[in-house]
Chains A and B, each alone.
Chain A
Amino acid sequence: MTEALLALPNGAAVSQNAVPELTLDALREAIETASARGRRVSALFGAPRGERLALYVVLADDAAGLLECGSATLDGDEFPSMTPSCPEVQLFEREVAEQWGVVPRGHPWFKPVRFHRSYRAPRDAWGRAPEDPLTVGVMDFFRVDGEEVHEVAVGPVHAGVIEPGHFRFQCHGEHVMHLEVSLGYQHRGVERSLLGGPGKRTIHYMETLAGDTTVGHATAYCQLREALGASGASARACALRGVALELERLANHTGDLGALAGDVGFLPTASYCGRLRGDFLNMTAVLCGSRFGRGLLRPGGVAFDLEPERAAELRKRLDRAARDVTEAVKLLWDAPSVMARLEDTGRLDAATAAALGLVGPASRACGLRRDVRKTHPAGIYRLVHLPISTADSGDVFARAYVRWLEIERSIEYLRAQLGELPRGPTARECPAPRGGHLAVALVEGWRGELCHVALTDEAGRFSTYKVVDPSFHNWPGLALAMRGQQLSDFPLCNKSFNLSYCGQDL
């Protein structure tokens, strides 16, 4: 069965003729047996094939460091849902349904994802007519009935300075029986607008898929463009992308630990980390002028060099920030009142995390060894290896502690890198994408695996561009982690995942 799929490494481009076209049954079997064969689903998406729709899948084989790709053409406007035997595709199938107006028959949780009309209107997976109203957040929510059972609905506008989303809790007193997350408020049509590209706006779409992951998503895009152009980036450019990616991880992980401290009312760490997050962002700005890494990455390389004086300045700032963040975070582990709130809150076991297809620190906190930098390395990570940081308790503490381990390792990594950047050019010409190709790029962003897949038409324009933000895998993890918890622990659990709304809604 596995032989039927095409194995390819991260950052590869192949002719679309080389991508096996399976029968739908064979593709389903490959997906439904993925987990048993040690694979997980990185992407599952639809793409038009003539008048019909094709399903494409990208599986990740973490042990072998390879990806597997295949497709199948749908006969008609429905297909049997794979979710009952492979829960990690549940959101992918809903996305395919919403975008293309096809129905995954037998899907146990069949609801819209982003609340938009299908790309092939008037086709609609829910049978809504074009003149029927389509209102975000209006759908059948799971309900628990019973005496004294009540429902708590929050959002889209929240109390903090955060993105919009709707959360609905089924509660008995403080006890949460179920949380349903309904998003789509940030949907701005990015994937649709990427079609026909690359164009003037393409890199800006990439930099704003999730603003806190600007470097991560831009890296994935650049690797994909370079694969499609049969070129690559210089060792120096790869190293500088790695520096920016680890700074992005440091800023966000530090910010998250501060925010977790804030959510349990532990102000020293909250205040320190609030400042330190900014110090890391400002280091990115030393490199490229933007705190978020805007304008740094371009297909073919990077737009800014790091001269020796600038590298020395960064090392000086890194040493200072490293010392301070160590002190600030140590306060957390040493405070019993903090640990009592983090430990055993929002626990998720490894089997559930694997079944849901979780990625990133949330998966590693359950003991899963999922880190693209190690298992599917590309760019600088082919040369410099970072160990995978894991914990095993799967609770808020584990998600915090994995972040801390990664902060330590990213600092160590940066210290070494800033001292020995490879020589060479920072950028070279990136040829236009080859026509009729498929390319896949994975990057370990700070939240987890970023997966970009592109198909090009005969002229080398994007006929499909699929973006999978780690949040797309991880939102259901938050929902399950909340089961059996106290409602008042939601902010803490939510922050321990800190998922992106815009990265999911696109």
Chain B
Amino acid sequence: MAYPEAPATLPDRFRGRPALDPARCPEGCRDCVEACPTDALKVDAEGLGLDLGRCLFCQACTLACPEGAITPGTEHRLAARKREDLVLRGSALARVQALDHKMLKLFKRSLKLRQVSCGGCNACEADVNVLGTVVFDLGRFGIQYVASPRHADGLLITGPVTENMKLALRKTYDAVPAPRIVIAVGACAISGGPYAGHPEAHEGASSVVPVDLFIPGCPPHPYTILDGLLGLLDRLGPERIP
């Protein structure tokens, strides 16, 4: 495929970033907030906000909204460098900010990642894996999954980080030579996802290690993951998402 030069080919029913129009929110209405299974929505002083890091893209909110203030969208580019940048306020979401000059010099043309699965349902792992197939051919960007953290430049973490995986994640992180990058893929790894609040799990990768890139979705589409990785390595244009 020609991505990122050519656009992503996605099914018409693909559920990407929803569009918010807080101006339509009736006074005091909390229908969407109450419908959301993961508390991804909030109505505060700034109005309606959607945390894509918690969102399962299930459409409970769009179905619950009586006024069309939240409508389904198909935008697949969702990743962000900072956790707070995942909160959607109706305006355009900034593109992923690339690594700084020094890190780009090290990793732009060769990034080796160790994947650590830390709870969750294995769907994120499946669509992380698919990037390695001939279809996406991740290797053409110099990105590769490696077998040992000792060989890696960073970690790609999926799952909420269960209590039973916390120590293993910590040890794997410590085994990666610095400077290292951490990428959290999927709602679980960003916020705990559907397991947020469970005593058996933590609230994502950042509860154990510092995270450099957040890629939302449940699971994220392979294009969403690829877009995040390429953005981090400054291999996309500087355009903004409409």
Chain B residue nearest to A136 in the complex (CB): B164
Among A159, A205, A207, A291, point to the contact of B221 (Cβ < 8 A): A291
Chain B, residues 103-146, CB within 8 Å of chain A (1/0): the string is 00000000000111111111111111110111100000000010
Cα separation A210 to B125 with both chains bound (whole Å): 12
> Which A residue's beta carbon lies closest to that of B133?
A274
Q: Would you call B14 an interface residue if the criterion is a C-beta within 8 Å of the partner chain's C-beta atoms?
A: yes
B165, CB-defined interface residue at 8 Å: yes
Contacts of B129 in A (CB 8 A): 161
**Bound CA span A277–B129, Å:** 12
Q: Which residues of A contact B165 (CB under 8 A)?
A: 156, 164, 185-186
Within 8 A of B (CB), among A268-285: 271, 274-275, 277-278, 282, 285
How many Å lie between the Cα of A211 and that of B145 in the bound state?
A: 21
Across the interface, B11 reaches (CB within 8 A) one of A115, A159, A200, A282, namely: A282
Q: Mark A264-308, 1 if CB is under 8 A from B, else 0.
A: 000000010011011000100111111110110000000010000
Question: For the complex, what is the distance from the CA of A290 to the CA of B127, rounded to whole Å?
Answer: 12
Quote the shortest CB–CB distance from B86 to chain A (angstroms).
Answer: 19
How many angstroms between the C-alpha atoms of A161 and B113 in the bound complex? 10
Contact A274-B134, Cβ < 8 Å, known A188-B200, A294-B58, A295-B58: yes
Assuming the A-B contacts A156-B165, A159-B148, A188-B160, are A164 and B117 also in contact, with contact meaning beta carbons closer than 8 angstroms in the complex?
Answer: yes
Return the chain B residue nearest A304 by Cβ.
Answer: B13
Least CB separation from B116: chain A residue: A157
A208 touches B194 (CB 8 A): yes
- Give the Cβ gap from A230 to chain B, nearest Cβ, in Å: 25
Q: Which chain A positions have C-beta within 8 A of B59?
A: 295
In the complex, how many angstroms separate the beta carbon of B32 from the nearest chain A beta carbon?
Answer: 12
Complex formed: what's the CA distance from A211 to B35 in Å? 23
Whether A204 and B58, one on each chain, are in contact in the complex, defined by CB atoms closer than 8 angstroms, is yes
- Chain B proximity of A324: nearest CB distance (Å): 13
Task: Name the distance in Å between A274's Cβ and chain B's nearest Cβ.
Answer: 4
Q: Knowing A157-B172, A291-B221, say if A188 contacts B122 (CB, 8 Å).
A: no
Given contacts A211-B124, A212-B126, contact A160 B147 (CB under 8 A): yes
- Contact indicator per residue, chain A 58-77, by CB within 8 Å of chain B (1) or not (0): 00000000000000000000
Whether A278 and B135, one on each chain, are in contact in the complex, defined by CB atoms closer than 8 angstroms, is yes
B181 close to A (CB within 8 Å) = no
B8 lies within 8 A of chain A by Cβ: no
B65-100 residues at the A interface, CB under 8 angstroms: none
Report the Cα distance A214→B218, complex, angstroms: 12
Q: Are A204 and B56 within 8 A (Cβ)?
A: yes
A-contact 0/1 string along B167-184, CB 8 Å cutoff: 110001000000000000
Q: How far is the CA of A441 from the CA of B131 in the complex (A)?
A: 35
Question: Is the C-beta of A201 less than 8 angstroms from some C-beta in chain B?
Answer: yes
Q: How distant is the Cα of A295 from the Cα of B63 in the complex, in angstroms?
A: 12
A477 at the interface (CB under 8 A from B): no
The answer to whether A288 and B13 touch (CB under 8 A), given A163-B117, A193-B198, is yes
**Inter-chain contacts of A200 with B (CB < 8 A):** 35-37, 60
Chain A residue at minimal CB-CB distance from B127: A291
Measured between C-beta atoms, what is the minimum distance from B70 to chain A in Å?
15
Task: Assess whether B201 is interfacial by the CB under 8 Å rule.
Answer: yes
Distance of B44 from chain A, by nearest CB (Å) = 21
Residues of chain B within 8 A of A161, CB atoms compared: 115, 117, 125, 128-129, 132, 145
**Residues of the B chain whose Cβ atoms lie less than 8 Å from the Cβ of A175:** none
Q: A294 near B200 (CB under 8 angstroms)?
A: no
Q: Which residues of the partner chain A approach B60 to less than 8 Å between Cβ atoms?
A: 200
Q: Of B38, B120, B148, B199, which contacts A211 at CB under 8 A? A: B120
A163-B117, A164-B117, A274-B135 given; A286·B199 CB < 8 A:
no
Answer whether residue B228 sits at the interface, using C-beta atoms and an 8 A cutoff: no
Contact B122 A501, beta carbon cutoff 8 Å: yes
CB nearest neighbor in A for B74: A289
Within 8 A of A (CB), among B192-242: 193-195, 198-201, 218-219, 221
- For this complex, 24 residue pairs linking A to B, each with C-beta atoms less than 8 Å apart, are A157-B172, A161-B129, A162-B117, A162-B125, A164-B116, A164-B165, A185-B162, A185-B164, A186-B117, A188-B119, A189-B200, A189-B201, A190-B195, A201-B194, A208-B123, A208-B218, A209-B121, A211-B126, A285-B14, A289-B13, A294-B56, A294-B57, A295-B58, A501-B122
3 A-B pairs closest in CB distance: A211-B123, A289-B13, A211-B121
18 additional A-B residue pairs with CB within 8 Å, beyond A161-B145, A501-B122: A157-B168, A164-B116, A187-B162, A189-B201, A207-B121, A208-B193, A212-B126, A214-B121, A271-B133, A274-B134, A286-B11, A286-B13, A288-B13, A291-B221, A292-B219, A294-B56, A500-B122, A502-B120
